Structure formats: structure tokens, C-alpha cells
Amino acid sequence: MPHTIISSHQHHTARHRTHYLAAGPEDGPLLIFVHGWPELSLSWRHQLPVFAGLGFRAIAPDMRGYGHSSNYDSHDAYAQRHVVEDMLELLDGLGRERAVWVGHDWGSPTVWALARLHADRCHAVASLCVPYYALDNGLETLVGLVDRQLYPDEEYPYGQWDYMRYYEESFEQATAVFDADPYLTVKLLFRKGDPAGQGAPAFTSNVRRNGGWFGPLPAAPDMPRDPDVVTEEDLAIYAEALKRNTFFGPDSYYMNHADNAALVAGTSDKLSLPVLFLGARYDYVCETATSGLAEPMRERCSDLTEFLIDSGHWMAQERPHEVNAALASWLSRKVPGVWPQCGQPGD
């Protein structure tokens, strides 16, 4: 089908360049998929052709600091206020007033900020793994939601978010270890969820205690590729982009917690538009199956749909069929006005 072909595009403004992948009819209802750390537009490779085939215009940008989008050499350039502006400019460049936004990992604070600050540019918002009113509100909010039964305060002051504090304290060291071999880094990171980890502290809770992501090692250890998440071709694309751009930009997203919290401070935190949250049962960092991490979202979203997927953190790649089915079901039931109809433009 011609509409399921994925094409590559660039959108330029005076302030930023966004590279994005696109599939589907140009007048189809617009879905924009926003990736997180340390990924690419490629991370939505299982979603773009499926939703294009349904008649949507499916878009996945490389976020700033990634792929073929603009890179910057200061931490503050990666604050959410700039990332959100990138997405609004992209929406304008696509000639649309609104989109359905789908975020994952650091893409989730972006779509949550769009929903909170720019609801007029959103038909609806979906998030994978990262609930509303958590990371979008900064590190202090996350720490306040830590499960202290699993992470006693005296032993784990930052809980599973210890690695975020590590970036703030040891940014150059953290980035250098990833940059030492980007291929080994992503080969280690991109793997499916492990049911055996339930009920145990996440490995991210000991990063500072261990002296780094990989302890004393100067680079990621050489682990077998997980074929249930990525192919060798996928890994090569991720690694090439990260080697070219370095991890400075991706890691700098973790250096703006106070600025990100200030962006939304003083604004209404209630969301009335349709919201979808896909929790990952085996994501022990963004753990929502048994902890209270998602409770603030449940209190603040009046039209919330939730699914719990038997997946680890890289849900869109590990469990694409379940993710696609949940998104399609939600769109058809909760956002029927954007469901593609033959002969009708998307917006």
C-alpha cells in the first residue's frame, strides 16, 4: 500500500530544524509520535505504517539533539520549553491546528506539557510508561512519589530516580561512558522486560553508589542483542546517530528539572481532553502497576483510559501489536472525530 511507505522530511524555522518521518495520506488525521532517551524517530517504526494504513497521517520527529534534527551545546537548550516550541512549530509547518500526540519516555513530558499549556493544539494525548504529573513536574515531584516500602529513604534517598541525580552531579562522566561506545550502549539498553525483576529495586537506584551506569567500567559491557526489541540494522542506525551527535544532547534533557517544573507552575493541572496511558508491567523505573506513581494523573485527568501491557520500558518496540491495538481502540472509542473517513480531511 503506497500510504504505508515511510518518507523522510525536514522542517526548518529560524530557530530550529526538525527531521521527521511520515507515512499516510497527507490530509489524514494527524498523529505525532514523540520519542524519548536515547532513541530516534525510528523507535516508532512499528506504529507509523500501521496507522498510515488506517488512514492517519503519522509523523515521528527526531527530537532536538537526536538524529538529523538540530543539536545545541548548552544544557538549557534541552529544557522542555524549547522542545515544546519545536513541536508547535512542526505542527504549524504541517499546516495543522491540532494533532493527537503520543509520547514515550522524555517524549511524555513534552506531550503532557502540550496538553496542559496548549490544549487548543491537541485533539488528545497518549503516553507510554511515563504518567502525567510526574517527570513533567521535575525531579522533586518524582522523588515525592517514590515507593518508600521498596526504597527506604535512608538507603535510597532518590529511589529509582537515583540515576537522574547522577547526571546532575557527574554529567561529564555519565556522558563519556555512553560515548565511549554508543553501539554497545544501545545494545545493552534496548531489551525486553524481565518478569523476574518484580518487587526488587530497579538497577537505576544504585547508579551513584556504583560509581556510574556500568560501575567502574569505562564503557558499556558487551551484552547479546535482544532480538525481541531490535534488529542488528536498527542498532546500527541508533549507534550511528548517537556517535555523530554524541550523548550530550540526549543526556542534557536530565539537566533541566527546575526549568521544566517552572514551565508548568501556576497553570491549571486538570486535563479534560481524552488521555490514554499505557503502563508497562515490567518497567521497574516507571513502575505504575503497584506504586503510586500514576495516582496524580488519575486525580487530574477527567477522561483517562489506561491499559497495562506486559512489557518493559521499550514498549513500542517490544510489544508493538499490543501498543497499536490499544491506541487504535482508544482512538476509535474516545476520539471518534479524528478517525479517518473516506474523502474527509483530517483537520
CA distance 99 to 111: 11
CA distance 52 to 47: 8
Specify the 3-state DSSP secondary structure of 218: coil
CA distance 83 to 64: 7
Provide φ and ψ at 306, rounded to 5°. -125, 140
Q: Which CATH class is domain 2-338?
A: alpha beta
pLDDT tens-digit series, residues 181-199:
999 999 999 999 999 999 9
- Please, are residues 19 and 336 in contact by the beta-carbon 8 Å criterion? no
- Please, are residues 322 and 309 in contact by the beta-carbon 8 Å criterion? yes
CA distance 245 to 230: 21
Contacts of residue 298, Cβ cutoff 8 Å, sequence gap at least 6: 304
Which candidate in 86, 105, 162, 234 is catalytic? 105
The answer to whether residue 310 is catalytic is: no
pLDDT tens by residue, the chain, 347 residues: 556 799 999 999 999 999 999 999 999 999 999 999 999 999 999 999 999 999 999 999 999 999 999 999 999 999 999 999 999 999 999 999 999 999 999 999 999 999 999 999 999 999 999 999 999 999 999 999 999 999 999 999 999 999 999 999 999 999 999 999 999 999 999 999 999 999 999 999 999 999 999 999 999 999 999 999 999 999 999 999 999 999 999 999 999 999 999 999 999 999 999 999 999 999 999 999 999 999 999 999 999 999 999 999 999 999 999 999 999 999 999 999 999 986 444 45
Task: Locate 341 and state its grid cell.
Answer: 473517513
Give alpha helix (H) positions in the chain. Answer: 48-53, 80-93, 107-117, 139-144, 162-169, 171-180, 182-189, 207-210, 232-245, 248-252, 257-264, 295-300, 315-318, 320-334
- Please, are residues 24 and 57 in contact by the beta-carbon 8 Å criterion? yes
Domain ranges for the chain, please list them.
Answer: 2-338
Three-state SS for 227-286 is CCCCCHHHHHHHHHHHHHHCCHHHHHHHHCHHHHHHHHCCCCCCECCCEEEEEECCCCCC
CA 303: distance to chain centroid?
A: 21
pTM: 0.97
The answer to whether residue 251 is catalytic is: no
Contacts of residue 325, Cβ cutoff 8 Å, sequence gap at least 6: none
pLDDT tens-digit series, residues 56-75:
999 999 999 999 999 999 99
Helix (H) or strand (E) holding 60: strand 57-61
